Structure 1
Amino acid sequence: MHTSLKLTPMLRQYLEIKEQHPDAILMYRMGDFYEMFFDDAVLAAKELGITLTSRSHKEETNKIPMCGVPFHAVTGYLGKLIKAGHRVALCEQVEDPREAKGIVKREVVRVVSPGVTTDDQILDEKTDCYVCALAIGKKSKEELIAGLAFVDISTGRFQISEVVYPPGNPELVADEITLLKPAEILLSQSDTEQRQDLVDLFSAQVEQLCFTVRPDYHFDGVTARNTLTEHFRTTNLAGFGCETYTNGIRAAGALIQYLRETQKSDLSHIRQISPLHQDTYLIIDDASRRNLELTETLIGGRRAGSLLECLDLTVTSMGARLLRRWLLFPLRDPDAIQARLAAVEELLNKSETRKIFRTLLDSVYDIERLCSRLVLGHGNARDMSAVKLSLRELPALQHELGSCQAPLFKSLNVSFDPLIDLHALLDRAIRDDAPISLREGRLIKEGYHAELDHLITLLRDGKKLILALEQTEREKSGLAKLKVGYNKVFGYYFEVSRSQAEDVPDYFIRKQTLVNAERFITPELKELENDIATAQERRLELEYALFADIRTQFATHNQRLLTTAGQLATIDILASFAESAARHRYQRPAINTKGYIRITEGRHPVIEQTLEPGRFVPNDMHLDQQTSQLLIITGPNMAGKSTVLRQTALIALMAHVGCFVPADSADICIVDRIFTRVGAMDDLRRGQSTFMVEMNETANILNNATENSLVILDEIGRGTSTHDGLAIAWAVVEELAQKNTVGIKTLFATHYHEMTVLATNSKKICNYSIAVSEQEGTIRFLHKLVSGAADRSYGIQVASLAGVPPHVIARAQELLTAIEKKEGRSFRSIQSSLKKQGGADTPRQMSLFAYDAGPLVRLLSSIEPDEISPREALDILYRAQHLLKFKHEKM
């Protein structure tokens, strides 16, 4: 690399270090700047918008590109590079320049990547930041097994999972990836080369995802297992419940090795690894999470407008992140759900307690991430001050917690650690006004360390100490006119007149003779002078050493800190839920295991907040396994069908999270999965049309929904031709109504009015519609769900409301009338066709979609009996007879 250049020792050192980190931008510390050279400089200058210069060289054509950023502002520049998807290696001086023989020794002390960072300016305080490792293995000839491991280095959260999938269906792995949405994925060299389909799929599913390729031996099963048992200091992984996760262990071991290499420091805050048991949570696949806009909007991917943003009244970053996890992993254990609901109810009824909790928590900083930075050796004194201020609130929080009666609060109170000893240490040691830099001093309080106190006294009171020594020597020598002086040549000295020079004590050492005076020094004076001169340097070194020692002490207590931080986050969420209930009139839902959902006056939690109070129209909803299992909902666009569908799913999900719900009352059964197929949008990144996306999501529902699932379907089949779409929609409804002979609770919104006939042939299928008021050709949406099918779609009226020109509306009405006369088919023909098939209680797939094909049907459909003469009728009869005879002859 650049071997043709004659390089200085410094650049040779730079290139040697760069060779060890070829995939990272190397920030090389030189004095008060981090410098970058060669290709790194060109790239960094472009990304950071800073000036690209060059380092002089004897040959003009070989000038070396370079750029730099100030060390005190590096975090901001670092954040820009990381958010752009780059990795950065921070190279520091690791020896004292005064002691260096030749060039100062430098080493990379930390590698920062999109998935591995603890810096506040890079991280989103309300979102976890995961790095993921993926290891693929064979389960059988027909199936692969993906091992996944996730770590958030900023909090120490470590999770492991395995997904079995057929080679042609990597979407199952993608679902697991998108659930935690990592910023970076580690792949082995061989998997990177052989599993390009996964790389492409992950890139399409997660924006700005960083891929890091690692050597295959890091994913070796034995090596990975040894790495994990060594890290956790155990003989096996059975105690964590993941001993049998063969491929998951491969991924987890590779991940720990990667973190060791990048952080080059202790990882003791990663104290356990937890299996990601999907079967203990209400599962929501990626498509349904997007359709319901749980954590971000479907269009634009913004937090604002999502359910998460609507419910998030937390006052701590820890609480905000935990709330996101609660929404992504709703509970299925009725007892655990009831425990949360009881705690929320208590805080709703005790407004003063809720206010105290929220006020105290508002003063608590992000203990999780502060703790991790301190453990990793990145934390500074301001981080410690933030921890100290946070711990100060814990005794009051514990006292208030003790007054709560809900079982969940009692459980938290029993194990709550107020960390009094750690607060006492920080309160005694760390200054409130400590700077960010650890090399500027002013970190440690006076009174914490005797030697440091002495150095501070020397710096602050040096002149007073010299004058005190002057007074002491006057008294000892009896020389009243003895005085202290100073010059740059000799430093401090004692001066007496020449007439008194013979009377100075024996330990005075003559230093200079003047015309009228003599100057002397003493060992005590020189020692004091030396102490004063070196006090600043010694103080900086001692303060840094003391701070590092305190930081190390904290690292040994990191598990206590993280446990308490998790409890604070839980209290924060429960208080937030109670606050939401108080502000928005949410009610406690009942939880049942009998398979029914009953909602009275339910509201959409997000849309309601965008409207003026009282404007949202609430609706009732009832679903069960016997008489109202599948609801076919018809009505015009804009009437509110999608809103009713979504709010039902969101209310069910909120209940499983342990949150009160936007309804007058709600009784929600335990649901294993929520599936949604809502909206239509091309997935251009994956080259899929609207219809293909729709069919993929529908197939997933039909293949994986169970009798305990909740299915939300909106406008199935509209991405293709009318007849194909109707056929598919009809078949899907039949399958959902009879799957496994039990059927699935389903809300099905459609514009295919023909499908309402299905309700006449099954007691489990019901017709509902969104009420519309029509007067003199104009319509008004009532947004109310009512029993019975809609008789029309009001498409032309909606077009008129949208501002389509009147002459276009008039022409559309003419065409509609003509089409309905010539090609319309009444519901009676479909109902008749059903009856001819045997009138089964549960609808079956029918042949009616081909019924009107053929010349005979087209002939009969083209006539208007009331408008033809007898002669014309006879001619039509002969033609029909001829067509029928022709058909029989062909058969």
Structure 2
Amino acid sequence: MSELKSTPMMSQYFSIKEQYKDSILFFRMGDFYEMFFEDAEIASKVLDITLTSRNKNEDIPVPMCGIPYKAAEAYIARLISRDYKVAICDQVEDPKNAKGIVRREVVRVITPGMILEDTLLDARINNFVASISKNGEVFGLSCLDISTGTFRISETTVFEDVLDEILRIKPSEVVVSEKNKDDGDILCIKKSLGSVYFSFINDNSFSIRNSRDTLLNHFSTRSLEGFGCEDLQSGICAAGALLSYVKETQMKSLSHVTGLVPYRSSDFLIIDDSSFRNLDVFVNQRTGQKTGALIDIIDMTMTPMGGRLLRNWLRYPLVDLSQIDARLDAVDEAVRLRAEREISRNILKSVADLERLGSRITMNRCSAREFVALKRSLNALPELWMVLSTFESPLFDFQENLSDLSILADLIDQAIAEDPPASINEGGMIKEGYNSELDELISISRDGKSFLAKLEAEEKEKTGISSLKVKYNRVFGYFIEVSKAASENVPASYVRKQTLVNAERYITDELKVFETKVLNAYEERVALELAIFEDIRLEIVKHNPSILKVASFISNIDCLTAIAQVAEDNDYVRPIMNNDGIIRIEDGRHPVVEKTIDAGKYVPNSIYLDNNENQILIITGPNMAGKSTVLRQAALTVLMAQSGFFVPAARADISVTDRVFVRVGASDNLASGQSTFMVEMEETANIINNATPSSLVVMDEIGRGTSTFDGISIAWAIVEYLHDLSASGVKTLFATHYHELTELDAIKPRVKNFNIAVKEWNDEIIFLHRLVEGGASRSYGIQVARLAGIPHEIIARSKKILTNLESGSHDLRSVSQGTQARMQKQSRPRQLELFRKPENVVVEILKGIDILSLTPLEALNKLSELKEKIRDIR
């Protein structure tokens, strides 16, 4: 078989591809990016483009496909979404100046965590790449968003904390050392993250020496003391390796990464990923969409960076009482100063995403349009600062001097056109009057148009050829075009340049001189504009630290004023924070559910929890009555309060909570072979093992995934454990269908019974959605089944079976022989009497009658009602 013939270009390709074996190589050839061999086969399938070959007539054809250079962004996005790395190999010299083959180099490697383009990012969500190091029992964790410059570091000795935090960060990519590729903990994290892209890099990058040197060199410091992380050795390993990885893939300055922020999980309210998802904070779990989630109701920020910060506040609620109150003070002031708030929010509409704007400019991934957006944003600051000066809260006070940024905005205004082109390689970016040399080149181009028009008119008159045209194209330059029919009349001075089917093209000495002058002027103009553009870009980069400070401040202002706007629009109140262990929510509402029903029809509910008498509330009531809504709204109220939000209630006293656990609903995890009950028990185990006396536990229907007796036993034992935890217990809302659990209030002093009230009428039930004291007397399952549309005959049969069960006399004649045989074999004693006998129903009704207040007629009606009740259940 013949060997593959290697041209100089293919030799260059092989040399570069050898260095990027794990990436799809986009190889720039003129106006296209070409892919070859396996890269072409993969890309053609993923991108749905034609697979062809470079040398069709040779024995070994080379598979090839290509995409237009200017349309690369969309294709890259599709490859990244399928977890492929893309190495961008560009021509790094002008083909006109190349001696031999054009020099090409990889200028950037794009991975899911290495994206800067706005079109590929969600404006309101950080795009983190995370790094995990493991040194003995100590885990280091770091995350970096190159699109904003956010860089954080943490470490812990507890694996569960690492797992919780990585799920909280939700990175697009995770970087790990090659030596830990098969480590059990890393594999567990990888499994928990699902489809997140993992990059395994050289172990040396994670060494403490190399990592520390990488960080010190980047920040130009002698130590990391200034960042407060000098002693976080495992964290430094993770952060240094991450920074090294980003620099190697981006091959650009990361000067927009100006700091490294250390933090501990315990600095914030911890809410594990499962609990957070159960509350539908960012995504509605039922639909997988933002609509129907809390964020859809309360994110009224005006800028993308404000939106990202708002999400961060919700994912990292505060636990320091003074910090919470400071944030609430600022929101309170923004609520009161309505006019100033509205003016501020209106100004914020004109502020661009300064964080991502600054990052793209710093990393030279920008056009002149970013400069214009920056100028408009900076020009909005003086008016915004003037409005904010009326606020007294320190959170509205910006201490930095803005004079340098005003000068920068003026520079951009003087130099950059108001509506510049999207490309920086076509000219038209720089205003006339900014540079005299450029003005001269522009004048030549402009005068050229009038020269051509004049030349065309003169040649028509001279030759008498009315169809004569002076034209230009990129292949042949300038030429005179004459139709075939008129070609006999052209002067001898015309030199034929090209013959077409219906026309002839000519050049003249005069046109040659003009062409040289104009084309050189155009090329010189583009080159000069690029040089001016780069000078301005470097000037902006110098001011980027100040721009980032402004961006951070504006993000805070955006969040505070947005929270105030939400509070006013939705009638939220300021929560009163305490460290006394008291959670009192008067007329609380679920912020999302209240938006889904008609105005005025939502039924608010009050909850009181403390550490002395009302620590555990057992909540009973039928399905559809609203137990889960009450549970979720309580947890959301705590989450919102500690995030600095006003809350949906008439009044709220909220004790600062260290952890919130929410165990509501469950589903099978078929991928890992876990049943509903197993998922439920694992989430419950997490609560039992991590709850503290300062936590809030919300649990719904524990134990329903197994047999009735097992479920009751487990639920009972869990309530007892939470009551006795650390000899002081933990505040808990516990919803259940097991009415037997209501007996716990007689055994455990801090347990109280509540139920979601319903009203019975002619064997129908009306949901009142009101939480009232006391346990529910019935589950009303059959009535709920009727409401759900179960056929009448099944409802009737269910009532008959229920009556027999409640009376203890199973109707063996009405069941199948196989069932009867099994029941007869069951000789074991009943564990618990789960259902009330009919006479008990009557007794309970009688107990609730105030005989002394009844009139004779009311007494007769009550007696008639009891007769009907007995007839129904018999």
- CA deviation after TM superposition for structure 1 residue 57, in Å: 4.1
Counterpart of 2:528, as a letter, is L
1:428 corresponds in structure 2 to 414
Q: 3-state DSSP class of the match of 2:78?
A: helix
Using the TM superposition, give the Cα deviation of residue 801 of structure 1 relative to its aligned residue in structure 2, in angstroms: 0.7
Distance (whole Å) between structure 2 residues aligned to residue 343 and residue 806 of structure 1: 58
SS in 2 for 1:419: helix
Identify the residue that residue 221 of structure 2 maps to in structure 1: 234
What pairs with 1:149-548 in structure 2 (closer than 5 Å)?
149-165=142-158, 170-195=159-184, 198-199=186-187, 201-409=188-396, 411-412=397-398, 419-461=405-447, 532-548=518-534
| Aligned equivalent of 1:84 | 82
User: 1:857 & 1:294 partners in 2: Cα distance?
Assistant: 44
Classify 1:860/1:262 alpha carbon distance in 2 versus 1 (closer, same or farther; 3 Å): closer
In the TM superposition, what is the alpha-carbon distance from 1:724 to its structure 2 partner? Answer: 1.3
Instruction: Kindly state the Cα deviation for residue 240 of structure 1 after the two structures are TM-superposed.
Output: 1.1
Corresponding residue of 1:133: 131
How far does residue 762 in structure 1 lie from its aligned partner after superposition?
A: 2.9
Amino acid in structure 1 at the alignment position of 2:62 = I
Give CA-to-partner distance per residue, 1:837-884, whole Å, 9 cap, x none.
xxxxxxxxxxxxxxxx9757699999x999xxxxxxxxxxxxxxxxxx
Contact 2:709 2:831 in 1 (8 A): no
Give the 3-state SS of the residue equivalent to 1:810 in structure 2.
Answer: helix
Q: Is the 8 A contact 2:583 2:655 kept in 1?
A: yes
TM-aligned CA deviation for residue 49 of structure 1? 1.6
2:593 alignment counterpart: 607
Matched position secondary structure for 1:605: coil
Q: 2: distance between equivalents of 1:291 and 1:547?
A: 50
Corresponding position of 2:506: none
Aligned to 1:676: 662
Query: What is the 5 A alignment of 1:730-741?
Result: 730-741=716-727
Q: Does the residue aligned with 2:182 lie in a helix, a strand or coil?
A: helix
Which of the residues 675, 689, 693 maps onto 2:679?
A: 693
What is the SS of the residue equivalent to 2:808?
Answer: helix
Q: How many residues align?
A: 776
Shift of 1:687: 2.6
2:559 aligned with 1:573: yes
Q: What is the CA deviation profile of residues 375-425 of structure 1, one whole-angstrom value per residue up to 9, with x for unaligned ones?
A: 11111111212212222211111111112223321x336677782122111
CA distance, structure 2, for counterparts of residue 210 and residue 218 of structure 1: 19
The Cα shift of 1:347 comes to 2.0
Give the superposition deviation at 1:685. 2.9
How far has the Cα of 1:91 moved from its partner? 0.7
What's the counterpart of residue 477 of structure 1?
A: none
Aligned equivalents of 1:102, 1:452: Cα separation in 2: 32
Counterpart residue number, 1:663: 649
Q: Deviations over 1:165-194 (max 9, x none)?
A: 3xxxx5442211110100001111111133
CA contact (8 A) 1:360 1:397 kept: yes
Shift of 1:641: 0.5
The letter for the 2-side match of 1:721 is S
Q: Which runs of 5+ in 2 are unaligned?
A: 455-469, 480-492, 494-508, 811-825, 840-874
Pick closer, same or farther for the CA change 1:252–1:414 going to 2, 3 Å: closer
2:92 maps to 1:94: yes
Which secondary structure does the structure 1 equivalent of 2:238 belong to?
A: helix
Aligned residue identity for 2:113: G
CA contact (8 A) 1:183 1:208 kept: no
Alignment pair present for 1:33 and 2:20: no
In the aligned structure 1, how far is the partner of 2:834 from the partner of 2:524? Answer: 102
Q: Distance in 2 between matches of 1:465 and 1:860?
A: 104
Shift of 1:795: 0.9
- String of CA shifts for 1:462-503, please: whole Å, max 9, x gaps: 5889999xxxxxxxxxxxxxxxxx9999x99xxxxxxxxxxx
The AA in structure 2 aligned to 1:198 is I
Contact 1:417 1:560 in 2 (8 A): no
Aligned CA distance change for structure 1 residues 467 and 781 (closer, same or farther; 3 Å):
closer
Unaligned runs of 5+ in 1: 139-143, 469-485, 493-511, 513-520, 825-852, 867-891
Give the deviation of 1:290 after TM superposition.
1.1
Instruction: Report deviation, 1:265.
Output: 0.6
Query: In the alignment, which residue of structure 2 is the partner of 1:752?
Result: 738
Specify whether residues 579 and 71 from structure 1 end up closer, same or farther in structure 2 by C-alpha distance, changes over 3 A only.
same
Q: Which runs of 4+ in 1 moved over 4 A?
A: 413-418, 462-468, 486-489, 525-533, 853-862
Task: Give the distance between the partners of 1:275 and 1:768, measured in 2 at CA.
Answer: 44
Please state whether the residue corresponding to 1:208 is helix, strand or coil: coil
CA RMSD of aligned residues (A): 2.9
After superposition, the Cα gap between the structure-2 partners of 1:855 and 1:424, relative to the gap in structure 1 and judged at 3 Å, is: closer
TM normalised by structure 2 equals 0.85
Q: Report if the CA contact (8 A) 2:803-2:838 is conserved.
A: no
Tell me the distance in 1 between the aligned counterparts of 2:24 and 2:516.
Answer: 44
Residues 1:456 and 1:764: Cα distance change in structure 2 (over 3 Å): same
Q: 1:865–1:404: structure 2 CA closer, same or farther, 3 Å change rule?
A: closer
Q: Summarize the Cα distance change of 1:818–1:436 in structure 2 as closer, same or farther, 3 Å threshold.
A: same
Change (3 A) 1:325 1:860: closer
SS in 2 for 1:121: helix
2:711 to 725, 729, 732: 725
Q: Which residue of 1 aligns with 2:695?
A: 709
Partner of 1:762: 748
Residue type of the alignment partner of 1:156? G
Q: Are residues 1:67 and 2:65 paired?
A: yes
> One-letter code of the match for 2:275?
S
What is the identity percentage for the equivalent residue pairs of Structure 1 and Structure 2? 48
Distance in structure 1 (CA, Å) of the matches to 2:672 and 2:833: 46
Look up the equivalent residue of 2:578 and give its one-letter code. N
What secondary structure sits across from 2:703 in the alignment? coil
Contact 1:402–1:413 under 8 Å retained in 2? no
> Hey, what does 2:851 align to over in structure 1?
none
Greater Cα offset, 777-786 or 379-388: 379-388
Q: Deviations over 1:794-819 (max 9, x none)?
A: 11111111111111111111222222
Matched residues in 2 for 1:679 and 1:721: separation? 17
- TM-score w.r.t. structure 1 length? 0.83
Q: Which residue of 1 aligns with 2:540?
A: 554
The alpha-carbon distance between structure 1 residues 529 and 177, as it changes in their structure 2 partners (threshold 3 A), is: closer
1:787-866 aligned within 5 A: 787-822=773-808
Structure 1 CA distance for aligned equivalents of residues 234 and 471 of structure 2: 74
Deviates more, 1:781-790 or 1:428-437: 428-437
| Contact kept? 2:165, 2:265, Cα under 8 Å | no
Q: Distance in 1 between matches of 2:543 and 2:356?
A: 14
Preserved contact between residue 799 and residue 809 of structure 1 (Cα < 8 Å): yes
Pick closer, same or farther for the CA change 1:781–1:100 going to 2, 3 Å.
same
The verdict on how the C-alpha distance between 1:465 and 1:404 changes in structure 2, with shifts beyond 3 A counting, is: farther
Residue 842 of structure 1 corresponds to: none
The residue type paired with residue 23 of structure 1 is D
> 1:509 aligns to what?
none
Q: Secondary structure at the match of 2:307?
A: helix
Conserved 8 A contact 1:41-1:67: yes
Aligned partners of 1:687 and 1:264: how far apart in 2? 44
Distance 1:58 1:792, change over 3 A: same
Mark the CA change 1:859 to 1:795 in structure 2 (over 3 Å): closer, same or farther: closer
